[in-house]
């Protein structure tokens, strides 16, 4: 029975809890048992809040017993990326500098999950401060991809994607600065959505790059992602970048998937050298499928997209250099060298040396250099101009098409350690996802089969204009249904055994 429970979708689980066929406690216990059974091998979680999760589940069952109406995800377990503050349980952001820090407040997203009676199982592993594409940069060790534990589960949100793919949770939360929701989804055969920038509150989300960071839903199906999206999205006066506008009808779109009459753009810059042949094969099949389903395919040329990676790796490190200045060893978190023999400046230096990992230090130094006197205009200023060009090219493209599709990642999951000493090779994992973050648009990755050469998942990326997130779900649901009808769900039916 426990194995059957963990393989239900979030929508199915919520329906069974609402009808009384299952209790929230039974569902939570089944997932906690799964975590205990497999997470020693996967290492998706940094902290499991067993008592807290069971208390939340009991509260849901009590509500149902009293006849109270339950929300669409009441009692459904969720894995929360360890970048959102959670009152009473640790938030480390995958870094030693915040090891053991217990926040005194909840992030807005965390509050909304609790208000919707979603059961938070615990906090998931991630690249330190969300800086990475493989979850190898976590100070607490790497996470394995459930398809092949010797390979990466993507990054920075590899813990959340691995929790889904190993059936430790039916829902998860990630954050996406340059692809950190979509890239992990692609390489684990799951669904990940980067909502429009500003449509999900960043209050209580530890900042990496403030103009790029965006929280979003992760799931195993498009409908589950839509249900979660609806819970976490919406205006928040605590976040100065929050959009004060209604949340698009994402659940309705996911329930009524169709591409009939839609114009779907294919950008020529999203293929070529460095792309794995199996990834291109599955992408071309996806484009053919969209045409078969009634979409018109439009070829697009967006030359500035070739500059996106360079622009991103100036803008993101510059903003991280500013944001991470708050970690000084004096206010909270790790403090090293405070023995009476060092000055405050020396304590700060020793704390940062001990608390930050190599990738975080690399990006802080890159960003500090790009912002320094005499170099600001040449580097950071120029990158922001390129960002404007990319945004304008997206706007012109969306005058011709309703959505854009591409491979989510150039390759399938690579072996752990393969790119650890080659930062540029690591950064190329986000080649297809970064332009969307720079423009602030909405995007989704969903499974589109397995690459024939290694039998590992491939992701299809769908990009929509800002505040048109419902188009992602409308197209994604149509593609998902067609794939399941033709080949079966690549995760639910072919997932590896742990």
- Listed in sequence order, the residues at least 6 apart from 138 whose beta carbon sits closer than 8 Å to its beta carbon are 46, 94, 125, 126, 127, 128, 159
* pLDDT tens digits, one per residue of 180-220: 999 999 999 999 999 999 999 999 999 999 999 999 999 99
Least confident of 67-71, 162-166, 186-190, 225-229: 67-71
* pLDDT tens digits, one per residue of 8-46: 999 999 999 999 999 999 999 999 999 999 999 999 999
* pLDDT tens digits, one per residue of 91-122: 999 999 999 999 999 999 999 999 999 999 99
The conformation of residue 128, written as its DSSP 8-state character, comes to: G
Question: By C-alpha distance, which of 465, 411, 191 is closest to 283?
Answer: 411
Choose the final residue of a domain: 362, 381, 400: 381
Question: By C-alpha distance, which of 61, 441, 38, 455 is closest to 216?
Answer: 441
Does 416 share its domain with 354?
no
Angle between helices 222-232 and 469-487 (to 10 degrees): 160
How high is the pLDDT of residue 326?
93
Q: Categorize the per-residue pLDDT at 485 as very low, low, confident or very high, splitting at 50, 70 and 90.
A: confident
Does 323 share its domain with 396?
no
Q: What is the domain extent for residue 442?
A: 1-303+386-497
* pLDDT tens digits, one per residue of 360-385: 999 999 999 999 888 888 899 999 99
Q: Categorize the per-residue pLDDT at 492 as very low, low, confident or very high, splitting at 50, 70 and 90.
A: low
Does 364 share its domain with 396?
no
How high is the pLDDT of residue 420?
87
Does 309 share its domain with 299?
no
Beta bridge partners of 362: none
Whether the per-residue pLDDT at 272 is higher than 90: the answer is no
Whether the per-residue pLDDT at 222 is higher than 60: the answer is yes
**Are the C-beta atoms of residues 143 and 159 closer than 8 Å to each other?**
yes
Return the CATH number at 462: 3.90.1300.10
Phi, psi of 298 (to 5 degrees): -125, 125
Q: Average pLDDT for residues 387-407, to the nearest whole number?
A: 98
C-alpha torsion angle, residues 425, 427, 432, 434 (rounded to 10): -170
Does 356 share its domain with 432?
no
Does the predicted model carry a pTM greater than 0.75? yes
Does 151 share its domain with 183?
yes
Q: Which residues are catalytic?
A: 81, 156, 180
Domain count, the chain: 2
Choose the final residue of a domain: 381, 397, 429: 381
Does 135 share its domain with 250?
yes
* pLDDT tens digits, one per residue of 227-254: 999 999 999 999 999 999 999 999 999 9
Choose the final residue of a domain: 381, 403, 420: 381
Does 233 share its domain with 110?
yes
Does 353 share its domain with 394?
no
Whether the per-residue pLDDT at 267 is higher than 90: the answer is yes
How high is the pLDDT of residue 491?
53
DSSP of 368-432: HHHHSTTTTIIIIIHHHHHHHHHHHHHHHHHHH-SEEEEESSSSSPPBTTTTTT-HHHHHGGGTT
Q: Categorize the per-residue pLDDT at 493 as very low, low, confident or very high, splitting at 50, 70 and 90.
A: low
How high is the pLDDT of residue 494?
53
Does 308 share its domain with 290?
no
Does 72 share its domain with 204?
yes
For residue 69, count other CB atoms closer than 10 A to its CB: 8
Does 364 share its domain with 390?
no
How high is the pLDDT of residue 103?
96
Type and span of the H or E element at 222: helix 222-232
């Amino acid at each position: 029975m426990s194995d059957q429970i963990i393989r239900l979708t979030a929508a199915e689980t919520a329906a069974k809890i609402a009808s009384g066929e299952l209790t929230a406690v039974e569902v939570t216990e089944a997932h906690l048992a799964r975590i205990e059974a497999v997470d020693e091998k996967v290492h998706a979680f940094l902290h499991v809040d067993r008592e807290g999760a069971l208390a939340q589940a009991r509260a849901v069952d009590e509500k149902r017993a009293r006849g109270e109406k339950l929300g669409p995800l009441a009692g459904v377990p969720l894995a929360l990326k360890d970048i959102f503050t959670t009152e009473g349980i640790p938030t480390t952001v995958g870094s030693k500098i915040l090891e053991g820090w217990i926040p005194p407040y909840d992030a807005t997203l965390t509050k909304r999950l609790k208000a919707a009676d979603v059961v938070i199982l615990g906090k998931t592993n991630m690249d330190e401060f969300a800086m990475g594409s493989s979850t190898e940069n976590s100070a607490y060790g790497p996470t394995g991809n459930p398809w092949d534990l010797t390979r990466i589960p993507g990054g920075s949100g590899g813990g959340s994607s691995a929790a889904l793919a190993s059936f430790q949770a039916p829902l998860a939360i990630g954050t996406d600065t340059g692809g950190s929701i979509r890239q992990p989804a692609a390489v684990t055969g799951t669904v990940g959505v980067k909502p429009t920038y500003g449509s999900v509150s960043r209050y209580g989300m530890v900042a990496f790059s403030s103009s790029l960071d965006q929280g979003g839903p992760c799931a195993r199906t498009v409908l589950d992602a839509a249900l979660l999206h609806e819970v976490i999205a919406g205006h928040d006066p605590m976040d100065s970048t929050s959009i004060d506008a209604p949340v698009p009808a994402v659940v309705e779109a996911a329930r009524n998937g169709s591409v009939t009459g839609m114009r779907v753009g294919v950008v020529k810059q999203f293929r070529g050298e460095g792309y794995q042949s199996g990834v291109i094969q599955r992408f071309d099949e996806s484009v053919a499928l969209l045409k078969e389903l009634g979409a018109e395919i439009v070829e697009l040329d967006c030359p500035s997209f070739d500059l996106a990676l360079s622009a991103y790796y100036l803008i993101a490190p510059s903003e991280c250099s500013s944001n991470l200045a708050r970690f000084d060893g004096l206010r909270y978190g790790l403090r090293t060298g405070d023995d009476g023999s060092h000055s405050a400046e020396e304590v700060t230096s020793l704390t940062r040396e001990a608390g930050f990992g190599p990738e975080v230090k690399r990006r802080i130094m890159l960003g500090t250099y790009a912002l320094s006197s005499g170099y600001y205009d040449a580097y950071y200023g120029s990158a922001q101009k390129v960002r404007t060009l990319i945004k304008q090219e997206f706007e012109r493209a969306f005058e011709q098409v309703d959505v854009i599709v591409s491979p989510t990642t150039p390759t399938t999951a690579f072996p752990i350690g393969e790119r650890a000493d080659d930062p540029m090779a690591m950064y190329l994992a986000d080649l297809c996802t970064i332009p969307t973050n720079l423009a602030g648009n909405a995007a989704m990755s969903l499974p589109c089969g397995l690459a024939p050469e290694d039998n590992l998942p491939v992701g299809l990326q769908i990009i929509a204009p800002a505040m048109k997130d419902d188009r992602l779900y409308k197209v994604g649901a149509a593609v998902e249904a067609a794939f399941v009808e033709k080949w079966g769900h690549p995760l639910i039916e072919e997932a590896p055994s742990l």
